[in-house]
Amino acid sequence: MTAARDYIPTPHTTSNRRRQKATAIVHYQSVVPKTVTRKVSRSRSKVTPLPTQRKQLPLALQFLLLVQKGSTTFTFGLVAITLGVYAWTVYAPTLWSREFSKLKTLQRNERQLTASNESLKHKMAEQAEQPGSGLTLPNPHQSIFVAPAKVSLMEVADQTTETPISPIIPDTPIAY
Protein backbone atom coordinates (compact mmCIF):
# COMPACT_ATOMS: atom_id res chain seq x y z
CA MET A 1 0.00 0.00 0.00
CA THR A 2 2.77 2.44 0.85
CA ALA A 3 4.79 1.41 -2.19
CA ALA A 4 1.83 2.21 -4.42
CA ARG A 5 1.74 5.75 -3.01
CA ASP A 6 5.43 6.18 -3.76
CA TYR A 7 4.99 5.51 -7.47
CA ILE A 8 4.36 8.76 -9.24
CA PRO A 9 3.74 8.62 -12.99
CA THR A 10 6.05 10.86 -15.04
CA PRO A 11 4.53 13.19 -17.54
CA HIS A 12 5.53 12.59 -21.13
CA THR A 13 6.18 15.11 -23.84
CA THR A 14 3.54 15.77 -26.43
CA SER A 15 5.36 13.72 -29.05
CA ASN A 16 5.47 10.81 -26.64
CA ARG A 17 1.78 11.21 -25.83
CA ARG A 18 0.78 10.14 -29.29
CA ARG A 19 2.83 6.97 -28.90
CA GLN A 20 1.45 6.48 -25.40
CA LYS A 21 -2.12 6.55 -26.63
CA ALA A 22 -1.26 4.05 -29.29
CA THR A 23 0.63 1.63 -27.03
CA ALA A 24 -1.02 2.49 -23.69
CA ILE A 25 2.23 2.08 -21.74
CA VAL A 26 2.78 4.12 -18.57
CA HIS A 27 6.29 4.70 -17.33
CA TYR A 28 6.89 5.15 -13.59
CA GLN A 29 9.73 6.73 -11.72
CA SER A 30 12.01 4.69 -9.54
CA VAL A 31 10.89 3.68 -6.07
CA VAL A 32 12.47 6.49 -4.12
CA PRO A 33 10.31 7.93 -1.36
CA LYS A 34 9.75 11.61 -1.73
CA THR A 35 8.94 14.01 1.02
CA VAL A 36 5.90 15.96 0.13
CA THR A 37 5.41 19.28 1.80
CA ARG A 38 2.08 20.93 1.54
CA LYS A 39 1.36 24.52 2.03
CA VAL A 40 -1.32 25.13 4.56
CA SER A 41 -4.02 27.22 3.08
CA ARG A 42 -5.58 29.94 5.13
CA SER A 43 -8.98 28.35 5.00
CA ARG A 44 -7.62 25.19 6.61
CA SER A 45 -5.73 27.00 9.30
CA LYS A 46 -8.94 27.98 11.00
CA VAL A 47 -9.76 25.15 13.34
CA THR A 48 -12.96 25.33 15.24
CA PRO A 49 -12.71 23.77 18.69
CA LEU A 50 -15.15 21.04 19.55
CA PRO A 51 -17.45 21.69 22.48
CA THR A 52 -16.14 20.02 25.61
CA GLN A 53 -19.38 19.95 27.51
CA ARG A 54 -21.36 16.75 27.40
CA LYS A 55 -24.82 17.34 26.16
CA GLN A 56 -27.69 15.55 27.83
CA LEU A 57 -28.95 12.71 25.65
CA PRO A 58 -32.60 12.74 24.66
CA LEU A 59 -34.93 10.78 26.92
CA ALA A 60 -35.81 8.28 24.18
CA LEU A 61 -32.12 7.54 23.56
CA GLN A 62 -31.50 7.12 27.30
CA PHE A 63 -34.40 4.68 27.43
CA LEU A 64 -32.99 2.70 24.51
CA LEU A 65 -29.57 2.53 26.17
CA LEU A 66 -31.21 1.28 29.35
CA VAL A 67 -33.09 -1.36 27.36
CA GLN A 68 -29.81 -2.39 25.71
CA LYS A 69 -28.06 -2.81 29.08
CA GLY A 70 -31.00 -4.77 30.44
CA SER A 71 -31.18 -7.05 27.44
CA THR A 72 -27.43 -7.66 27.60
CA THR A 73 -27.69 -8.63 31.26
CA PHE A 74 -30.71 -10.81 30.47
CA THR A 75 -28.79 -12.50 27.64
CA PHE A 76 -25.83 -13.30 29.88
CA GLY A 77 -28.24 -14.70 32.45
CA LEU A 78 -29.85 -16.91 29.82
CA VAL A 79 -26.43 -18.16 28.74
CA ALA A 80 -25.57 -19.03 32.35
CA ILE A 81 -28.89 -20.84 32.80
CA THR A 82 -28.34 -22.69 29.52
CA LEU A 83 -24.92 -23.87 30.67
CA GLY A 84 -26.44 -24.98 33.97
CA VAL A 85 -29.17 -26.93 32.22
CA TYR A 86 -26.56 -28.48 29.94
CA ALA A 87 -24.53 -29.56 32.95
CA TRP A 88 -27.64 -30.95 34.59
CA THR A 89 -28.91 -32.85 31.54
CA VAL A 90 -25.70 -33.96 29.83
CA TYR A 91 -22.70 -33.82 32.15
CA ALA A 92 -24.36 -35.04 35.34
CA PRO A 93 -25.80 -38.23 33.77
CA THR A 94 -22.44 -38.92 32.14
CA LEU A 95 -20.69 -38.56 35.48
CA TRP A 96 -23.39 -40.64 37.17
CA SER A 97 -23.00 -43.37 34.53
CA ARG A 98 -19.24 -43.46 35.08
CA GLU A 99 -19.62 -43.69 38.85
CA PHE A 100 -22.36 -46.31 38.49
CA SER A 101 -20.05 -48.51 36.42
CA LYS A 102 -17.44 -48.18 39.18
CA LEU A 103 -20.10 -49.24 41.71
CA LYS A 104 -21.00 -52.28 39.60
CA THR A 105 -17.33 -53.25 39.40
CA LEU A 106 -16.95 -52.93 43.17
CA GLN A 107 -20.08 -55.01 43.76
CA ARG A 108 -18.79 -57.71 41.40
CA ASN A 109 -15.45 -57.72 43.25
CA GLU A 110 -17.29 -57.95 46.57
CA ARG A 111 -19.28 -60.96 45.34
CA GLN A 112 -16.07 -62.63 44.15
CA LEU A 113 -14.40 -61.99 47.52
CA THR A 114 -17.43 -63.32 49.40
CA ALA A 115 -17.46 -66.45 47.25
CA SER A 116 -13.71 -66.94 47.80
CA ASN A 117 -14.13 -66.43 51.55
CA GLU A 118 -16.96 -68.96 51.74
CA SER A 119 -15.03 -71.52 49.70
CA LEU A 120 -12.03 -71.11 52.05
CA LYS A 121 -14.31 -71.55 55.08
CA HIS A 122 -15.80 -74.68 53.56
CA LYS A 123 -12.34 -76.09 52.74
CA MET A 124 -11.17 -75.39 56.32
CA ALA A 125 -14.27 -77.08 57.74
CA GLU A 126 -13.66 -80.16 55.59
CA GLN A 127 -10.02 -80.31 56.73
CA ALA A 128 -11.11 -79.97 60.38
CA GLU A 129 -13.49 -82.93 60.05
CA GLN A 130 -10.73 -85.23 58.82
CA PRO A 131 -9.43 -87.57 61.56
CA GLY A 132 -5.75 -86.61 61.21
CA SER A 133 -6.29 -82.88 61.78
CA GLY A 134 -6.03 -83.09 65.61
CA LEU A 135 -9.17 -81.03 66.18
CA THR A 136 -12.03 -82.24 68.39
CA LEU A 137 -15.69 -81.45 68.34
CA PRO A 138 -16.81 -78.76 70.79
CA ASN A 139 -17.94 -80.17 74.14
CA PRO A 140 -19.83 -78.00 76.67
CA HIS A 141 -18.10 -79.78 79.60
CA GLN A 142 -14.69 -78.69 78.32
CA SER A 143 -15.72 -75.05 77.84
CA ILE A 144 -14.24 -72.37 80.03
CA PHE A 145 -16.62 -69.75 81.38
CA VAL A 146 -15.26 -66.50 82.78
CA ALA A 147 -17.31 -64.58 85.32
CA PRO A 148 -17.85 -60.92 84.44
CA ALA A 149 -15.75 -58.47 86.39
CA LYS A 150 -17.50 -56.11 88.74
CA VAL A 151 -17.51 -52.52 87.56
CA SER A 152 -17.57 -49.99 90.34
CA LEU A 153 -19.33 -46.74 89.70
CA MET A 154 -17.46 -43.63 90.64
CA GLU A 155 -19.37 -41.14 92.68
CA VAL A 156 -19.25 -37.55 91.60
CA ALA A 157 -19.73 -34.79 94.10
CA ASP A 158 -23.09 -33.18 93.59
CA GLN A 159 -22.87 -29.58 92.60
CA THR A 160 -26.58 -29.08 92.84
CA THR A 161 -28.94 -29.85 95.70
CA GLU A 162 -31.18 -32.01 93.57
CA THR A 163 -31.46 -35.74 94.06
CA PRO A 164 -28.64 -37.68 92.47
CA ILE A 165 -29.44 -39.15 89.08
CA SER A 166 -28.48 -42.77 88.66
CA PRO A 167 -27.15 -43.84 85.26
CA ILE A 168 -29.63 -45.58 83.05
CA ILE A 169 -28.37 -49.01 82.05
CA PRO A 170 -30.74 -50.76 79.64
CA ASP A 171 -31.47 -54.47 79.96
CA THR A 172 -30.94 -55.07 76.25
CA PRO A 173 -27.92 -54.09 74.17
CA ILE A 174 -28.06 -50.68 72.52
CA ALA A 175 -25.99 -51.40 69.44
CA TYR A 176 -25.86 -54.23 66.94
Q: Which has more pLDDT, 154 or 10? A: 154
Task: Look at the chain and report how many structural domains it folds into.
Answer: 1
What distance in Å separates the CA atoms of residue 101 and residue 75, rounded to the nearest whole number?
38
Amino acid at site 147 = A
Mean pLDDT of 151-165: 70
Using alpha carbons only, what angle is made at residue 139 by residues 134 and 143, rounded to the nearest 5 degrees? 100
Range of the domain at 1: 1-34
Residue 118 lies in a domain: no
Residue 130 lies in a domain: no
Q: Does some domain include residue 7?
A: yes
CA distance 52 to 14: 56
Q: Give pLDDT tens digits for 31-41.
A: 656 666 666 55
Digit-coded pLDDT (tens) for 132-156:
888 777 788 888 888 888 888 877 7
Binning pLDDT at 50, 70 and 90, where does residue 121 land? very high
In a domain, 105, yes or no: no
Share of the chain above pLDDT 70, in %: 65
Residue 161's CB is within 10 A of a number of other CB atoms, namely: 5
Nearest partner of 111 among 123, 122, 119, 101, judged by Cα? 119
pTM: predicted TM-score of the whole model, two decimal places:
0.34
